[in-house]
Every structure is written in C-alpha cells, then in structure tokens.
C-alpha cells in the first residue's frame, strides 16, 4: 500500500512538472484581513477552437467583521438602539472557505479568456468561528451558528461568458450569465458544528457596453467610459437554512444579499429566503498619470433590491419583505490590473440606514461591485 501510494505521488509530481505553464491558472483576491487563492488546472493545453476540462479549487480565509441586525424576537433593531450602541449590529469572526470541483467547457472560448459556455460541479466547505461579544445581537439570538458553523454543499450549474477586457483602458465588453443550484444536505458534515440542511437556486447575469475610448497614449489610458449592469435572484429552502445562506446570493462566486448588494445598507441586513438585486453603473476611466498600470476612475451607480422571507422571522409583518433603492458615486483606483479599490458615498431612497440616516458618506469596496 505504501509503495503504491509512493508511486501515485511520484506520478502526480511528474505530471505537474511536465504540464505546460498555460495549463495552470492562479486567481488571487485580497480580503480586508485575509486572502483568496483559486488555482485551476486544465487537463489539456487550451486552444481557441477547443473546449477545456479543468480541475478547479479555492482556498479563502479572513478575520472579518460581520453584520447581524435582528433583535432576540426576530424584529430589526431600532435606529435608537443602534445609535446608543453601534456595536450591537456587528461581530467579528474567523471565516474559511474551500472548494474542489470540475469545470467542463461545452462551447469553445473564441476570443474570450475562458470557454464561452461551460458546466460545473464542485464541493464547497465553509467554517466560521464567531468571537463572543455580549453586546452583539448575533449572540443574543437562538441561531446555532453562535457557537460556530461547519457546513458543506454541492454546487452545480451552467455558465455563459462572452466578456472581454482592454488591458490598457480596463474597459469591459460583452455579457455573462450563470444558473446554478446548491444542495447542503444534513449528512454532509452539516451536523458537527452548527446545523444546516437546505437547498437553493440562483441565477445571475451581467453586461458591459463601451461608450467612449480616447485612443491610449503610449499604453496609458487617457479617458474611457463604459456602462455596466448586473442582476441576480436567489431562493433558498429547507428545514435548516444557515444565516450565511439567508444573507448571501449563491453561485460560483458568493456575494452579499440584498443589504450588501444595494449599497449603503450593510451586508447581512435584510436577510431572507428570497432575494433579488439589480445594479446599474457608469464607469469612467481617468488618465493614468503616475504609471500605466495604475488607472484612477469614477463610478456613478443606482442599486435596487427586493427581499421576501418565507420563514417570516420577524413578528412585524412589514419587515418580512421590502424594496430597497440607493444611488451614489465613487472614486476607484485599479492597481496593476490585480486589485481595485472603490470609495463610495450613497443616498438611500427607500429604507433608512442602520441609525435612521439617508446619506452614507463613506464606504470602501474591494473590487468593482460586480
């Protein structure tokens, strides 16, 4: 057995070393206090007229602040209570996610950076450990996650991608879409720490349209403008839906649900079993004065979202569904085509903010909103 294992390891190392560099891809994404690494190995050398079969993975970890906005009875915290102690709506946690799966192309890539259409299936694991805080509403709830959570799920779906990007101006062009289902059964280590037994369906689409590009000067962006739009819908069901599922929109790339996708309200707020969001942006790339690889910019946006809680956690009926709308502007900076920082200010048109405010003067986003 040991000899067989040694042979398998040796063969694996030889295959990996013999693989052409183009068969490996590594994605990297910074988090506030943490990072995400996403390796991908293509079983054959990618070609423009052939589809790809890839083994995909992901490892992400961070120490982060999270939001929970419900009082012990399930109703939302009153603005006066939050004003008296803003710490009640947030808590800190260690957060880890890992994934392993298969991505199979079904339509060749052509001129984009991946297959135009593909199907995927992968396992996703997630562990979180919240650091106790007696003031935080999260620890006053009856959620099983207050003692930590270890959950797993299978995610499967189909994706379409015809988005290209100009490496100099950073302007995107094209459309992409995805439909997926996620299944987190109780038998998949979902009863060890915390409790989970759920399924969810989601769909999303994004589109980008170039409006103006002043010819680059010596590989530097001078002025570029493009429109961007995004929409998503997510529905979860099951006897034990974790708070992290209620407060997120699923798919290959999990994102914050209504409260975080409609800027200005805060991630984790308006958690529900059904969520839908729509975002519209005008992105302006300004002259790259310092270095060609550092591109400043402006963002003008409007966000909308709707949520409906089938579990009706709040005893106040009007809190179990609602419509959100916000608008704002932001200043962005693209650093070496590897990371984007965006500094936002937002106005809330419908529901007020956590402390009753309508204007949120400052917020930071890592990467564009979509």
Quick: pLDDT tens for 27-53. Answer: 877 777 888 888 888 887 666 677 889
pLDDT > 70? residue 60: yes
Residue 270 included in any domain:
yes
Q: What b-and-e string marks burial along 261-284, b requiring 16 or more CB atoms within 10 Å of the CB? A: bbbbbbbbbbbbbbbbbbbebebb
Beta strands in 244-355 (DSSP E): 248-249, 255-256, 274-285, 294-308, 321-335, 339-348
Q: Could you tell me what percent of the chain has a pLDDT over 90? A: 73
Across the range 61-81, mean pLDDT stands at 92
pLDDT > 80? residue 13: no
Residue 9 included in any domain:
no
Residue 3 included in any domain:
no
The CATH number that applies at residue 333 is: 2.40.160
pLDDT at 255: 95
| pTM, rounded to two decimals | 0.87
User: Is the C-alpha dihedral spanning 242, 243, 244, 246 positive or negative?
Assistant: positive
The model's confidence at residue 86, banded by pLDDT at 50, 70 and 90, is confident
Contact between 297 and 332 (Cβ < 8 Å): yes
Q: Which two tokens stand for residue 268?
A: 């984790």
Q: Is the model more confident about 139 or about 29? A: 139
Contact between 43 and 24 (Cβ < 8 Å): no
Q: Give residue-wise pLDDT tens across range 184-225.
A: 999 999 999 999 999 999 999 999 999 999 987 778 899 999
Q: Which two tokens stand for residue 226?
A: 């493009």
pLDDT at 290: 87
Residue 135 included in any domain:
yes
Q: Which long-range contacts (CB under 8 A, 24 or more apart) does 34-42 make?
A: 34/60, 34/61, 34/62, 34/63, 34/64, 34/95, 35/60, 35/61, 35/62, 36/60, 40/103
Q: Give residue-wise pLDDT tens across range 271-306.
A: 999 999 999 999 999 999 889 899 999 999 999 999
Contact between 333 and 245 (Cβ < 8 Å): no
pLDDT at 285: 96
pLDDT at 15: 40
Q: Which two tokens stand for residue 314?
A: 């709040």
Q: Please enumerate in sequence order all residues whose Cβ is within 8 A of that of 347, keeping only pairs 6 or more positions apart, or say none.
A: 264, 326, 327, 328, 358, 359, 360
pLDDT > 50? residue 8: no
C-alpha–C-alpha distance, residues 81 and 196, integer Å = 31
Residue 2 included in any domain:
no
Residue 210 included in any domain:
yes
Residue 5 included in any domain:
no
Q: Which residue range(s) make up the domain with 189?
A: 23-366
C-alpha–C-alpha distance, residues 25 and 27, integer Å = 7
pLDDT at 110: 67
The model's confidence at residue 5, banded by pLDDT at 50, 70 and 90, is very low
Q: Please enumerate in sequence order all residues whose Cβ is within 8 A of that of 318, keeping only pairs 6 or more positions apart, or say none.
A: none
Residue 11 included in any domain:
no
Length of the chain, please?
Answer: 370
Q: Give residue-wise pLDDT tens across range 92-123.
A: 999 999 999 999 999 887 665 678 999 999 99
pLDDT at 47: 66
Total domains in the chain come to 1
C-alpha–C-alpha distance, residues 72 and 292, integer Å = 52
């Amino acid at each position: 057995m040991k000899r067989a294992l040694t042979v398998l390891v040796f063969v694996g190392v030889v295959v990996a070393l013999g693989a052409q560099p183009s068969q490996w891809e590594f994605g990297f994404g910074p988090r506030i206090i943490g990072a995400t690494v996403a390796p991908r190995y293509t079983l054959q050398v990618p070609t423009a007229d052939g589809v790809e079969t890839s083994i995909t993975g992901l490892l992400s970890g961070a120490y982060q602040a999270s939001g929970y906005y419900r009082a012990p009875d399930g109703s939302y915290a009153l603005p006066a209570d939050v004003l008296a102690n803003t710490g009640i709506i947030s808590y800190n946690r260690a957060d880890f996610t890992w994934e392993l799966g298969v991505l199979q192309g079904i339509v060749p890539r052509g001129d984009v950076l991946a297959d135009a259409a593909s199907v995927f299936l992968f396992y996703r694991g997630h562990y979180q450990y919240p650091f106790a805080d007696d003031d935080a509403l999260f620890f006053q709830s009856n959620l099983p996650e207050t003692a930590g959570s270890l959950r797993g799920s299978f995610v499967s779906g189909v994706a379409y991608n015809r988005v290209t990007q100009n490496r100099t101006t950073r302007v995107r062009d094209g459309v992409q879409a995805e439909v997926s289902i996620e299944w987190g059964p109780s038998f998949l280590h979902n009863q060890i720490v915390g409790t989970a037994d759920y399924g969810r369906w989601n769909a999303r689409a994004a589109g980008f349209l170039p409006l103006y590009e002043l010819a680059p000067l010596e590989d530097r962006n001078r002025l570029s403008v493009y429109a961007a739009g995004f929409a998503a819908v997510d529905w979860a069901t099951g006897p034990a839906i974790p708070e992290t599922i209620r407060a997120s929109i699923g798919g290959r790339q999990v994102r914050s649900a209504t409260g975080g996708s409609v800027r200005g309200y805060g991630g984790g707020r308006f958690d529900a079993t059904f969520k839908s969001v729509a975002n519209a942006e005008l992105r302006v790339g300004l002259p790259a004065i310092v270095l060609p690889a550092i591109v400043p910019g402006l963002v003008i946006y409007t966000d909308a979202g709707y949520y409906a809680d089938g579990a009706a956690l709040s005893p106040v009926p009007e809190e179990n569904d609602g419509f959100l709308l916000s608008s704002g502007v932001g200043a962005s900076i693209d650093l070496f085509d590897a990371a984007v920082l965006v500094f936002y200010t937002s106005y809330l048109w419908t529901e007020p903010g956590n402390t009753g405010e309508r204007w949120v003067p400052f917020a930071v986003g890592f990467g564009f909103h979509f």
